[in-house]
Amino acid sequence: MSELFQDYSEAVARSGAYDEMFAPGLIVRRSYGQVEGALKELSLADVSARAESMARTFLDRGVTFDYAGEERPFPLDIVPRVIPADEWETLERGVAQRVRALEAFLDDVYGRMSVVSDGVIPRHLVTTSAHFHRAVHGFEPAGGVRVHVSGIDVVRDAAGTFRVLEDNVRVPSGVSYVLENRRAMAKGLPEAFGQQHIRPVEEYPRRLLSALRKTAPSGVDDPTVVVLTPGVFNSAYFEHTLLAGLMGVELVEGRDLICRGNRVYMRTTAGEQRVDVIYKRIDDDFLDPLQFRSDSMLGCPGLVNAARAGGVTIANAVGNGVADDKLVYSYVPDLIRYYLHEEPVIANVDTFRLEEKEAREHVLDRLDELVVKPVDGSGGKGLVIGPAASKDELDALRRRILTDPRGWIAQPVLQLSTVPTLSGDKFGPRHVDLRPFAVNDGDDVWVLPGGLTRVALKEGSLIVNSSQGGGSKDTWVLSDSPQLPEPDLPRPSISVREQVSVWPVESNWRDRQSEQEQQ
């Protein structure tokens, strides 16, 4: 093995993590054979030059993000994450299963609430969620779809088992980096890229547009789709621009829209044009000042009423955030059993619900050993990793938990799997997660082959968010059949600042089901 991997095996052993490229003893896993073959022929100078070239390409194309007030190219490492076909088949089934269960859950809690009356989850869990919006209770979205796009965060633990870390069905971001990473890696490591069958990713914009058009209001034969962005200063603006361009639809801001007679129109140089589907990239709170924040200048007054009247489809649906609540996350395995009558394909991370007294007392005794998360947090904000926290931080966390136990969950510290990542003059193991993206058109859930692999660039760090110093890797899903080469699609150049199992208490529903089976 190249001197670039000097001491790599010892570093992995110290971390206690599962390494995606190497089995113990620095034995290359079969799926990484071509990558290893390409890397061992390269010197440090070669690898560094290619890494710098990819960074320059990203900077030229506007694929940048704001880190500590400085505009930087989005970090892309030269070693890809490789997923063999059999492992991807399991991930694909698990992600699609989860999306179907969350879709059923959202339809239920904004309707009959049978999941509550049957005792699967407590009513207060839903009604106290900050993202449960009564303004959309009781209406059926056009096409019957609420989760058009989802990003399900998956990690691999020290035993090599995949687990779902969290769900993102509000405004999941990051797919633009999947598309751009693939373009860059095809040129950054062509020796490995061209020697194996890697499933392509460029189909995503077509799949997304097809799903959006399919869920347009009834009676609309040729729907007009737009992407609604908060504007150029939003951290994901590059993605909004990229997707609008690749789908061939208009990118609009709230000031470009007007609601009249429960219909939505777009102002154009040729006059007003009706809009049938809005792919919103704005948080619900800022979408409609008549229903949510009255001071919002980002949305358009009347959008919610237009959606309720069936005059427009909003994707993802307003109110989806209740399914992103990390306390609801702890019940998703039960939701899968309840709605789909299946066992979960991918398990949750073991989770303590701190609103439950026994779990809370257990966690408060072990704060320095656990990861504690706010239930409505995102991007790693508010997260406290016990072993890395100071006594003052833990004391402050304890007070916050006791003040608002509903607002927190706790999980064991997972040693996320690692992938070799260039650091200085050699490769070191760095922790990664994976966000597969799924598109739901009402009839089928299609999962983008691969997804966004985020990597913690700091040695030993478990924080993969780029807003906190993380980067990314291209994700290669291997196929048993040849794939066509990636087309040279045009890309807009717009600067971007990147946003960057359960505590063992059985639900009443499970108890009653067991009693019925015994009877």
Return mean pLDDT, the chain: 89
Q: Which of 99, 49, 57 is nearest to 320 (CA)?
A: 99
Tens digits of per-residue pLDDT, 367-421? Answer: 999 999 999 877 667 889 999 999 999 999 999 999 999 999 999 999 999 999 9
Per-residue pLDDT band at 489 (split at 50, 70, 90): very low
Residue 499 clears pLDDT 90, i.e. is over it: no
| Per-residue pLDDT, 497 | 30
Tens digits of per-residue pLDDT, 440-466? Answer: 999 999 999 999 999 999 988 888 886
Burial per residue of 386-400, b for 16 or more beta-carbon CB atoms within 10 angstroms, e otherwise: beebeeeeeeebeee
Distance CA 470, CA 462 (A): 9
Residues in the chain: 519
Query: Phi, psi (5° rounding) for residue 45?
Result: -60, -40
Distance CA 356, CA 327 (A): 11
With both helix axes pointing from N to C terminus, report the angle between 357-364 and 391-403 in degrees, rounded to the nearest 10: 170
Largest CA distance in the chain: 72
| Per-residue pLDDT, 195 | 85
| Per-residue pLDDT, 2 | 67
Side-chain half-sphere exposure of 153, counting CA atoms within 13 A: 22
| Mean pLDDT within 140-144 | 87
Write down all domains in the chain, each with its CATH number in brackets: 78-177+200-344+433-477 (no CATH), 350-412 (3.30.1490.270)
Spatial CB neighbours of 264, under 8 Å, sequence gap ≥ 6: 257, 258, 274, 275, 278, 300, 302, 303, 306, 311, 312
Beta 352-353 vs 370-374: how paired, if at all? unpaired
Per-residue pLDDT band at 71 (split at 50, 70, 90): low
293 burial class (0-12, 13-18, 19+ CB within 10 angstroms)?
A: middle
Tens digits of per-residue pLDDT, 256-273? Answer: 999 999 999 999 999 999
Per-residue pLDDT band at 482 (split at 50, 70, 90): very low
Element (H, E) at 166: strand 162-168
Tens digits of per-residue pLDDT, 98-125? Answer: 999 999 999 999 999 999 999 999 999 9
Q: What is the 3-state secondary structure (H, E, C) of 192-260?
A: HHCCCCECCCCCHHHHHHHHHHHCCCCCCCCCCEEEECCCCCCCCHHHHHHHHHHHCCEEECHHHEEEE
* Pair of tokens at residue 221: 């034969």
| Mean pLDDT within 290-319 | 95
Per-residue pLDDT band at 73 (split at 50, 70, 90): confident
